[in-house]
Amino acid sequence: MTDSELILTQLRAEGYETSKTFAGADLVIVNTCGFIDDAVKESLDTIGEALAENGKVIVTGCLGAKAGASSTDAGSLVREIHPSVLAVTGPHATQEVMDAVHTHVPKPHDPFIDLVPSFGVKLTPKHYAYLKISEGCNHRCSFCIIPSMRGDLVSRPIGDVLNEARALFESGVKELLVISQDTSAYGVDVKYRTGFWDGKPVKTKMLDLVAQLGEIAKPYGAWVRLHYVYPYPHVDEVLPMMAQGLVLPYLDVPFQHAHPDVLKRMKRPANGEKNMERILRWREACPELVIRSTFIAGFPGETEAEFQYLLDFMQEAQIDRAGCFAYSPVEGASANDIPGALPTEVREERRARFMAVAEQVSAAKLQARVGQTLQVLVDAAPALGRKGGVGRSYADAPEIDGTVKILPPEKASKTMKVGDFVRARVVAADGHDLVATLV
Ligand code: SF4
């Protein structure tokens, strides 16, 4: 997301305009993902569509860094399949993309026509925004190729991150979603260097970052939500901040599995047994806590007993929001060499069994919300909400979790608009969502 935003910001700053269709544009920039095979296919299809409809295509992003079968050169994979693309760049290559744009569609005459706001252009709706705190990752999980494409962890300077957060709140953002490959590791690469913000020394460290973000959000009454948090011991100290309401009591923790041997084969940065204890401690420190996680079923060598261990973990940990992928090999990942690959049917069957348990847990959790009054951030409100609307509570991250469907208000005078915080009483649970009335 952030790469696209940087490119868009730059394009706008130079006076270029964006088009809603491929056909209506002078050229098309396709930002790709090369993480999983499905994403590779989707990216290649999009490039094909853009070539067919427009003809002038620049490719950027992770897929642009990949080599094909015939050469070790970065970008050769895309060129092998779509030889007519104008340029191919890897991720975080705003300048290279801009150079290619300048070559093929020279800059408009007056670069000052479209002035860009100081915080850049956000692709997400105005009331929520992503804050990327670092790039890359120091781990080497056996199923993942992100470190080989994006390199080791590079944390952004704390002052820059906090300035961006304040600018986003000033521009009307009501919810900030902190993202990275490994949020808990923020600052490890710079040895938690002390930076400066607002004239004060602040450490480049997750806990200091979270505390500061909470303080910055306070005057705006805004939410701060943490994603990709690995369960390292220091994360325990974030829970009291959640209990105090400084940041949302929501943690997105990609556990991927629970059995220690599978985690070892996955080369995951966390220990399975300790994770259960940690979750129990977290819930004690902050009973409101909602945990989101993703899991992989059918990893190479996973025995039925190991899988059952995962199901038991899911029950005991009561993960509020869980997603599960059937293991799918990724080209270039070391997991491909692990013996004991499982047939596709077994992987799929385990995924389905996992999701059945996950859905039971989630349904019971949602049912328990009936009767509660929640603060809801409004994402959609046609006719000023007179026809009802859709929002989210602290338990729902945008795009990945459920929603709160708000019923049309009884009094026509009760209106709401996108980006408002409203209070709503839950009257029913409906699949992954809640149904509520304004109070
Ligand atoms: S922690 Fe593991 S899965 Fe996540 S980006 Fe790093 S290597 Fe990949």
Closest ligand 1 atom to 138 CA: 6
Contact 292, 250 (CB under 8 A): yes
Higher pLDDT, 38 or 263: 263
Per the annotation, binding residues for [4Fe-4S] cluster are 137, 141, 144
Contact 327, 299 (CB under 8 A): yes
> What confidence score (pLDDT) does residue 326 get?
96
> What confidence score (pLDDT) does residue 293 get?
96
Higher pLDDT, 11 or 277: 277
User: What gap in Å lies between CA 346 and CA 216, rounded to an integer?
Assistant: 48
Query: Checking phi first, is residue 136 left (phi over 0); if not, alpha (psi -120 to 50) or beta?
Result: left
Here the tokens at position 15 are 């006076």
Q: Whose CA is nearest to atom 5 of ligand 1?
A: 181
């459920």: which residue's tokens?
Answer: 402
User: What gap in Å lies between CA 3 and CA 75, rounded to an integer?
Assistant: 17
> What confidence score (pLDDT) does residue 161 get?
95
Q: What pTM was estimated for this model as a whole?
A: 0.77
Mean pLDDT of 257-272: 88
The answer to whether the Cα torsion of 102, 105, 109, 111 is positive or negative is negative
Does the CB atom of residue 146 touch ligand 1 within 6 A?
Answer: yes
Higher pLDDT, 262 or 9: 262
For the stretch 233-253, pLDDT in tens is: 899 999 999 999 999 999 999
> What confidence score (pLDDT) does residue 273 get?
63
Name the residue type at position 10: Q
User: What gap in Å lies between CA 431 and CA 120, rounded to an integer?
Assistant: 37
From 255, 249, 207, 210, select the one nearest 230 (Cα to Cα). 255
Q: How far is the CA of 129 from the centre of ligand 1 (A)?
A: 23
User: What gap in Å lies between CA 154 and CA 288, rounded to an integer?
Assistant: 32
Q: What are phi and psi of 62, to 5 degrees?
A: -60, -40
For the stretch 381-399, pLDDT in tens is: 998 999 999 999 999 999 8
Q: How far is the CA of 233 from the centre of ligand 1 (A)?
A: 18
Q: Which helix (H) or strand (E) is 77 found in, with range?
A: helix 76-81
Contacts of 115 (CB under 8 A, 6+ apart): 13
CA atoms within 13 A on the CB side of 228: 17
User: What gap in Å lies between CA 59 and CA 164, rounded to an integer?
Assistant: 27
Neighbour-count burial for 323-348, b at 16+ CB within 10 Å, e otherwise: ebbbbeebeebebeebeebbeeebbe
User: What gap in Å lies between CA 217 and CA 289, rounded to an integer?
Assistant: 19
271 three-class SS: coil
User: What gap in Å lies between CA 25 and CA 3, rounded to an integer?
Assistant: 20
CA atoms within 13 A on the CB side of 293: 27
Does the CB atom of residue 139 touch ligand 1 within 6 A?
Answer: yes
Does the CB atom of residue 181 touch ligand 1 within 6 A?
Answer: yes
* % of the chain exceeding 70 in pLDDT: 93
| pLDDT of 112 over the 70 cut | no
197 three-class SS: strand
Q: Whose CA is nearest to atom 1 of ligand 1?
A: 139
For the stretch 159-203, pLDDT in tens is: 999 999 999 999 889 999 999 999 999 999 999 999 999 999 999
* % of the chain exceeding 90 in pLDDT: 66
Lowest mean pLDDT among 68-77, 136-145, 371-380, 407-416: 68-77
Per the annotation, binding residues are 137, 141, 144
Mutate to test the pocket of ligand 1, among 33, 36, 138, 141 (most ligand atoms within 8 A of CB): 141
